[in-house]
Amino acid sequence: MNVLMLNPPFKGKFSRTSRSPAVTLGGTIYYPFWLAYAAGVLEQNGFSVQLIDAPAQGLSDDDVLERAKSMPPQLIVIDTSTPSIYRDVKVAEQLKESFPSSFIALVGTHPSALPEETLKLSARVDAVAVGEYDYTMRDLAFCLDKDDDLKTVDGLVFRKDGQIMRNRPRALIENVDELPFVSQVYKRHLNIHDYRFAAANYPMVMLITGRGCPYKCFFCVYPQTFHSRKYRPRSAANVVDEFQWITENLPEVKEIGIEDDTFTVDQERVKEICRLILDRGIKVKWYCNVRVNLGLETMRWMKKAGCRLVTVGFESADQESLDLMQKGITVAQIRQFVRDTREAGLLVHGCFIIGNRGETAETMEQSLMMAKELNCDTMQFFPLLVYPGTEAYRWAKENGYLAADSFAEWADEGGMYRSVLNIPGLPAEKVEAFCLRANREYYLRPGYILMKLKQLIFGPREVKRTLAGALTYFRRLPRSYRSRRQ
Residue 484 above 50 pLDDT? Answer: no
**Same domain, residue pair 208 and 301:** yes
Q: Is residue 264 domain-resident?
A: yes
Tell me whether the omega of the peptide bond preceding residue 100 falls within 30 degrees of 0, making it cis: no
**Could you list the residue range(s) of the whole structural domain that residue 87 is in?**
2-166
Q: What is the mean pLDDT of residues 332-355?
A: 97
Given pLDDT bands bounded at 50, 70 and 90, which one contains residue 458? low
Q: What is the mean pLDDT of residues 15-22?
A: 94
The string of pLDDT tens digits covering residues 136-161 is 999 999 999 999 999 999 999 999 98
The string of pLDDT tens digits covering residues 371-387 is 999 999 999 999 999 99
Residue 486 above 60 pLDDT? Answer: no
Q: Is residue 180 domain-resident?
A: no
Residue 232's pLDDT is what?
98
Q: Is residue 187 domain-resident?
A: no
Domain count for the chain, please give it.
2
**Same domain, residue pair 280 and 209:** yes
Residue 462's pLDDT is what?
62
Q: Is residue 176 domain-resident?
A: no
Q: Which of 166, 186, 216 is the last residue of a domain?
A: 166
**Same domain, residue pair 157 and 269:** no
Residue 468 above 80 pLDDT? Answer: no
Tell me the CATH number at 151. Answer: 3.40.50.2300
**Same domain, residue pair 134 and 203:** no
Report field, pTM of the whole predicted structure over 0.75: yes
Going by the DSSP 8-state scheme, the letter that residue 263 receives in this structure is: T
The string of pLDDT tens digits covering residues 180-225 is 999 999 999 999 999 999 889 999 999 999 999 999 999 999 999 9
Q: Is residue 100 domain-resident?
A: yes
**Same domain, residue pair 144 and 232:** no
Residue 443 above 70 pLDDT? Answer: yes
Helix, strand, coil percentages for the chain (3-state, nearest 5) = 45, 15, 35
Measured distance CA(202)–CA(465) in Å, rounded = 8
Q: Is residue 460 domain-resident?
A: no
**Same domain, residue pair 241 and 370:** yes
Measured distance CA(309)–CA(303) in Å, rounded = 9
Residue 33 above 80 pLDDT? Answer: yes
Q: Is residue 212 domain-resident?
A: yes
Measured distance CA(80)–CA(60) in Å, rounded = 16
Distances (CA, A) of 257 to 201, 246, 463: 10, 12, 19
**Same domain, residue pair 155 and 210:** no
Give just the sign of the alpha carbon dihedral 192, 204, 184, 233: negative
Q: Output the DSSP codes for 420-433.
A: -B-BTTB-HHHHHH
